[in-house]
Chain A
Amino acid sequence: MRFYHAFLYLYPASWRAEYGAEMCAVFAARRREASGVLAVLALWIEALADAVTTAPAIQWDIFRQDLRYAFRALGRSPGFAITVVTIAALGIGTTTAAYTMVDHVLIRPLPFVQSDRLVRLSQDLPVWGSHDSDISPANYRDWKRMSTSFAEMAAFNGLLVNITGQGEPEAIDGASVSGEMFSLLGIQPVVGRSFNAEDDRDSAPATVILSYGLWQARFAGNSSIIGSVIELDGKPHTVIGVMPEDFNFPTRKARLWTTLQLPPDAYEDRLDTYLYAIGRLKPGVTVSQAAAEMRNIGSRLARAFPKQLGHTSVTVMRLRDYVSDRSVLMLKVLLGAAFCVLLIACANLANLTLARALVRSRELAVRTALGAGRERLIRQMLTESLLPALAGGALGLFLAHAALPLAVRLVPTSLPIAEVPSIDPRVLLFAAGLTCATGIIFGLIPALRAGRDQGLSQLQGAGRSSAHVRQERIRSLLVVTEIAGSIVLLVAFGLLVRALWRIQSINPGFRPDHVLTLRTSLPMPRYEQLEARDPFYRHVLSEAQRLPGVTAAAYTSFLPMVMGGGIWPVEIAGHPEDVAKRRTASLRFVTPGFFRAMGIPLLMGRDVSESDLHKAPFVALVSQSFVDRYWGGENPLGRHFNIGNHDRVLIGVVADVRVRGLERSSEPQVYLSWQQPNDVSTWYAPKDLVIRTTTDPGSLVPALRRIIHQADPDQPVSDVMPLADIVEAETASRRVQLDVLGAFAAMAFLLAAVGIHGLLLFAVAARTPEIGIRIALGAQPGDIIGMTMGDGFRMAAAGVVAGLVLAYAAARVLESALAGVKPDDPPTFAAACVLATLMALAGSLLPTLRALRVDPTIAIRAE
């Protein structure tokens, strides 16, 4: 019989209470009737089948009944329903969007086969402060040969090629990969075949694999492209495959892939580093085991080649973790802020529902008196709160989906993942969980109370009972939580705004206004010889200078901030060469007038000139920090040093520029004459055109395209943008983050204000008789204002104090993203306090007015 009793637990408690005893009696009677083992067995099977089929049906019956009831109840107060759904949608929407972003960037496995076994191998150069430097082909070869931890190892290198022949010439980002790369990643082309070892052999016929996007955009998704030949930088390549639509490697910018085809002489110089290596761990090998092995290999190589590899080691890092600390912090801040909004939303909802429960307490009391069990009431109240939570969840999911594309700047470009995250089943699950949690959290408190103390006291209309006082305390606590949460968000937002202002006020070292930039990346080997490039530059520059409004035009290898690399060792005569204190500088080739076009002040000496030819003495300009660091500020003009494979004489000093970006310190800069490359890789051949003008920079574009077309009809023009945009792009991700955080803070602020407002309004309504008596006894309007406003400000004060403490803790976490703004920045904290006061004021305005309008005669009569 006990066993049968257990069956009854499948039924709702209210049902058990109602019919449990009778069902047991029925079963007992039938049990007595059954004779023989078989009959008893049959009875048990029947009873089990009966319970399993009817219990869910009964649960469903009750649920439907509750749902109907909830719809009716919410329909009676549409204002409440709309408010609740909107608040739930805001809380759930922000959290879902933030979690989707975090999941996309930090959690979700990379879209490769067994991607948790993929690692990135880099050179560790502690003396340069870099732990993930690129490597030389020789090192790649030796790492691959000496290691045993990897099932496969492959290398790649960034690629920028001009595609010509079909349609407009176009500059396209891509990657050169070693033959085993795609099989290592475990991704096969959707059309055609993958690379093999033969394709990667030096002097093999050149092959190319297209991205799905490029295939669609440029070749109309035509499968007959396989086997045909396209020209990349003027060199014919056979198209052998098209990768799947969602394939991104090494970053989402790459739109085509060729093979590396390293020639034998590529393995000679261990300082010529330009490869990035990826490994797939053998089954059973952990990342730390592989890292230990590679460190060992690194130190063996460092001993064998002390001059080139002294003080270097090898870093092994999960490919998934190749995200900058900044990105991680930004996303965590976003998630934290979203949780703050969710918390505030939940507190607000709990408050609203509590108030509503109080209003409905008589109804609940009647139902209790009529015999509704506690479980039944709790269940019904939960349904009533889950319903708007689910509606809010659906709306929130929709909001998140719509908002995600606005936040793509927060997806770092360093990862091989899509730009806009999709809301996948895991995130859906998360949203569903949140929705239910929100429903349960804000449904449970009123439901428990409804189940516990609704009784005769309510029917008798007992006024401000101890339960009431307790409830008011809970509700005040909720409002204090909301205020504290909004203070945290306001302070975080304020600090990051101050950080942004500080960064925007940093002098980049050049004047970005009224400057147009564009890129003409000359294809090699066609332009490999200086003599071949020279006419192109001369034509473009002389024609450009003739355009109306143009005051200066020049070419450089790479624009600052667009390219942070290009770092070379510097040897200075008379200074001992110590590997640990290796001198370095960023190297750029420029044409005359570059400093004028960029607005970089020439501090001493002269600019490069037409006469600094290949047969003339090799000249160089350096930045001020180069002089300070390497010659201790002595007059440097005429001194010699070695950079770029040749001794150079110093002819001028210019101001420093922020090559690596506004927020990073940069190496000293060295500028060489474009006519004196001396075997420096053609990658450094000037490709970025800089034009200073007195007119709108954008108006020059058509004329410039025409000029470049005249110089070489096959030459594509890319990256056309004002220099100001490049500087602005430095802070773009911060600005997006601020937009998001600002929206969150505004929501939190509004919700908290609504919270104060709602609570005070309710308190005034509950205390109307008391207020009436006070007025009748001669209380002045000032007393009444003090009473209601006082409540509002007491809550605001408590919230502000708690909020400021939490905000300071949050600011400490944020410190590395604050660009030097102190986490206890007084103006920010003061502003947050002022805003919170205003919020309290705004929130208590209407309730106070209502309290002032209380008519003592009516109020007391009602009592």
Chain B
Amino acid sequence: MSKSALPAPETLLPLPPATFHILIALAAGDRHGYAIIQEVATRTDNQIRLGAGTLYRSLQRMLEQGLIIETDNRPAAAQDDERRRYYRITHYGETVARAEARRLTQLVRLARASGLAKETA
């Protein structure tokens, strides 16, 4: 898919929660599938544990949408498992993640203004 064919980031919003979590996990660095599950679990205090089916369905869709790519940069052979595939967030993926974050922030701001959410540091 050429870059010019990518739709405006806003058209993908709101992102499904799994997609957003995967983008956040990949923002920190390239990861393979199981590492994404672990990363999401750690970041959410084990609140969210993605199932394998959910994970790979999301990854497939994200690949199609151009949010991520598969990368050939693999770790040293000793730590590698040839079955694994590694994923990297694209520039477009970062833009979309930022747009989603902005959208959520605005929502929270609205909630605070009407007293529905507490101000936290």
Contact = CB atoms under 8 A, between A and B. Distances in A.
B115 interface: no
Interface stretch (B81-89, B91-99, B106-114): B81-89
Interface in B18-65: 32-34, 37, 49, 51-57, 60-61
Which one of A53, A54, A58 has the greatest number of beta carbons of chain B within 10 Å?
A54
Contact of A47 (B34, B51, B57, B61): B51
For the complex of A and B, the 4 pairs showing the least CB-CB separation, nearest first, are: A50-B51, A54-B53, A23-B52, A19-B56
A26 B54 contact: no
A27 interface: yes
Contacts of B57: 54, 57-58, 61
13 contacts: A15-B56, A19-B56, A22-B33, A22-B83, A22-B85, A25-B33, A25-B34, A26-B34, A26-B55, A30-B34, A47-B52, A50-B54, A58-B57
A51 B55 CA distance: 11
A20 to B, nearest CB: 10
A25 B51 CA distance: 13
Contacts of A429: none
Contacts of A550: none
Contacts of B83: 21-22, 25
A29 interface: yes
Contact of A50 (B34, B52, B60, B61): B52
A438 to B, nearest CB: 32
Given A26-B34, A26-B37, A50 B84 contact: no
A22 B56 contact: yes
Given A22-B84, A26-B52, 20 more contacts: A15-B56, A21-B83, A22-B32, A22-B33, A22-B52, A22-B83, A23-B53, A23-B56, A25-B34, A25-B84, A26-B33, A47-B51, A50-B52, A51-B51, A51-B53, A53-B53, A54-B53, A58-B53, A61-B57, A61-B61
A55 interface: yes
Interface of B: 32-34, 37, 49, 51-57, 60-61, 81, 83-85
A25 B81 contact: yes
Contacts of B37: 26, 30
A40 B83 CA distance: 24
Interface of A: 11, 15, 18-19, 21-23, 25-27, 29-30, 46-47, 49-51, 53-55, 57-58, 61
A23 B85 CA distance: 11
A29 B49 CA distance: 13
B33 to A, nearest CB: 5
Contacts of B49: 46
Contacts of B56: 15, 19, 22-23
Contacts of A22: 32-33, 52, 56, 83-85
Contacts of A30: 34, 37
Contact of A55 (B53, B55, B84): B53
Contacts of B32: 22
A18 B64 CA distance: 14
Contacts of A21: 83
Contacts of A25: 33-34, 81, 83-84
A297 to B, nearest CB: 71
Contacts of A19: 56, 60
Contacts of A18: 60
Contacts, number: 53
Contacts of B33: 22, 25-26
A57 B84 CA distance: 24
Nearest to B82: A21
Nearest to A50: B51
B36 to A, nearest CB: 9
Nearest to A25: B83
Nearest to B56: A19
Contacts of B51: 46-47, 49-51, 54
Contacts of A54: 51, 53-54, 57
Contacts of B34: 25-26, 29-30
A61 B81 CA distance: 29
B89 to A, nearest CB: 19
Nearest to B81: A25
Contacts of A58: 53, 57
A320 to B, nearest CB: 52
A324 B18 CA distance: 68
Nearest to B53: A54
A58 B55 CA distance: 12
A57 B58 CA distance: 11
Nearest to A29: B34
A55 to B, nearest CB: 7
A786 B85 CA distance: 61
Contacts of B60: 18-19
Contacts of A55: 53
Contacts of A50: 51-54
Nearest to B37: A26
A740 to B, nearest CB: 51
Contacts of B52: 22-23, 26-27, 47, 50
B60 to A, nearest CB: 8
Which one of A15, A19, A30 has the greatest number of beta carbons of chain B within 10 Å?
A19
A585 B33 CA distance: 95
A21 B85 CA distance: 10
A26 B34 CA distance: 5
A535 B80 CA distance: 116
B19 to A, nearest CB: 14
A23 to B, nearest CB: 4
A11 B85 CA distance: 19
A61 B65 CA distance: 14
Nearest to B85: A22
A47 B56 CA distance: 13
A258 to B, nearest CB: 71
A651 B107 CA distance: 111
B114 to A, nearest CB: 34
Contacts of A46: 49, 51
A11 B60 CA distance: 14
A47 B37 CA distance: 13
A815 B51 CA distance: 68
A618 to B, nearest CB: 97
A735 to B, nearest CB: 61
Contacts of A53: 53-54
Nearest to B32: A22
A55 B54 CA distance: 9
A447 B34 CA distance: 36
A49 B50 CA distance: 11
A50 B52 CA distance: 7
Contacts of B81: 25
B51 to A, nearest CB: 3
A18 B85 CA distance: 11
B58 to A, nearest CB: 9
Contacts of A26: 33-34, 37, 52, 55
A66 to B, nearest CB: 14
Contacts of B84: 22, 25
Contacts of B53: 11, 23, 50-51, 53-55, 58
Contacts of A57: 57
A731 to B, nearest CB: 66
B64 to A, nearest CB: 9
Contacts of A15: 56
Which one of B33, B53, B61 has the greatest number of beta carbons of chain A within 10 Å?
B53
A27 B53 CA distance: 10
